[in-house]
């Protein structure tokens, strides 16, 4: 009887391992892309929730909420009050409890423990899962207790040049939120909200700070295209090449009013935006700049080509 050798030879084992290795190598990028596609869909849903919230606000108040209330003088005093955009949307995105804690006669960074609770309440609808997690901590290296706050990934369409010079009117400005009848270009051809990226928690930066009424916090300009390599003009600047490039203008007016922040995202190839008609679109970063700028004006009278 011939004894048959049992088991595998070394070469056979190596071949099998090599095949499995190659298959995994082929599969892994596909899995990563599927994960990113899922995150992007979740992000689309967030934008949809916010634009629906905006529409519900419009149904109630017959106009969009004001882009911000930037140092509005309190009647009969020399004091000024600061209110960001986001709080107006809270009742319409299932944050009624936080909204009820907010005192509208006080600036967002004042108002003690109540306001701090409101500012630090997580709002998942404002977070894109493709971006890093980041908040504003209440550390002395940042702004201390009055600063503690969440950040967010969705900002407002603020026009095409700078904070103070919109170029053509957009649906949002200081003390101004458009009525649908103001949007002569058509709600389908006008941007409402765009994506933005969060600086790291420890960065002393205003960008993506949805609770702050600073010119570079959540006001997004179409001066340059989505995900542009060109530097944002910001008040405070922690330059992150390839992600959040910037040039600091300083925090004193009037210099800081020239702030101009571009829409950015971690999605490959572009950013997601919501339009005033309630739709959410993916905009390629190779969009013609003129088309991108025409989308940001609400009554510019431009013919918007396909995008």
Min separation Cβ 97 and other proteins, Å: 25
The DSSP call for residue 226 is: T
Assess contact for 296 and 302: CB atoms under 8 A: no
Write out the residues near other proteins by the rule CB under 8 A: 11-12, 15, 18-19, 22, 26, 109, 140, 142-147, 161-162, 165, 212, 214, 223-225, 228-231, 233, 236, 239, 241, 245, 247-252, 255, 258, 285-290
Which residue, 107, 295, 168, is CA-closest to 305?
Answer: 295
Indicate the residue among 32 and 60 with the shorter CB distance to other proteins: 32
Cβ-contact 273, 220 below 8 angstroms: no
In the complex, least distance from residue 61 CB atom to other proteins, rounded to whole angstroms:
28
In this complex, which beta carbon is closest to other proteins, that of residue 34 or of residue 253?
Answer: 253
Q: How far is the CB of 258 from other proteins (least distance, A)?
A: 6
Two tokens, residue 84: 């960001």
Residue with Cβ nearer other proteins (55 or 82): 82
Element (H, E) at 13: helix 10-61
User: Whole-number minimum distance, CB 37 to other proteins, in Å?
Assistant: 19
Q: Which is nearer to other proteins, 53 or 168 (CB)?
A: 168
224 vs 262: CA distance, rounded Å: 6
Q: What is residue 14's three-state secondary structure? A: helix
CB of 160: closest distance to other proteins in angstroms? 10
Query: Are 108 and 87 a contacting pair, CB within 8 Å?
Result: yes
Please say which residue, 192 or 287, places its beta carbon nearer to other proteins.
287
Q: Report DSSP state, residue 4.
A: P
């Amino acid at each position: 009887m011939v004894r048959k050798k049992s088991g595998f030879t070394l070469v056979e084992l190596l071949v099998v391992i090599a095949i499995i290795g190659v298959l995994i190598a082929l599969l892994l990028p596909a899995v990563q892309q599927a994960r990113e596609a899922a995150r992007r869909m979740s992000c689309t849903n967030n934008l949809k929730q916010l634009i629906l919230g905006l529409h519900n606000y419009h149904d109630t108040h017959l106009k969009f909420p004001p882009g911000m209330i930037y140092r509005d003088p309190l009647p009969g005093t020399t004091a000024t009050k600061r209110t960001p955009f986001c709080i107006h949307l809270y009742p319409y995105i299932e944050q009624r409890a936080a909204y009820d804690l907010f005192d509208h006669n006080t600036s967002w960074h004042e108002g003690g423990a109540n306001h701090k609770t409101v500012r630090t309440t997580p709002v998942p609808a404002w977070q894109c899962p493709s971006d890093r997690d980041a908040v504003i901590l209440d550390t002395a290296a940042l702004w201390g207790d009055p600063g503690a706050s969440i950040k967010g990934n969705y900002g407002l369409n603020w026009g095409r040049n700078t904070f103070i010079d919109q170029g053509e009117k957009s649906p949002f400005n200081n003390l101004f939120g458009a009525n649908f009848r103001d949007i002569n270009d058509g709600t389908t051809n006008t941007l409402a909200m765009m994506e933005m990226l969060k600086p790291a928690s420890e960065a002393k930066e205003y960008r993506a700070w949805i609770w702050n009424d600073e010119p570079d916090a959540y006001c997004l300009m179409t001066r340059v295209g989505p995900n542009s390599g060109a530097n944002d003009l910001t008040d405070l600047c922690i330059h992150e090449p390839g992600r959040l490039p910037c040039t600091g203008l300083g925090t004193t007016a009037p210099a800081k009013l020239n702030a101009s922040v571009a829409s950015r995202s971690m999605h490959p190839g572009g950013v997601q935006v919501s339009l005033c008609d309630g739709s959410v679109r993916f905009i390629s970063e190779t969009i013609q700049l003129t088309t991108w700028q025409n989308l940001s004006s609400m009554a510019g009278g431009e013919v918007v080509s396909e995008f």
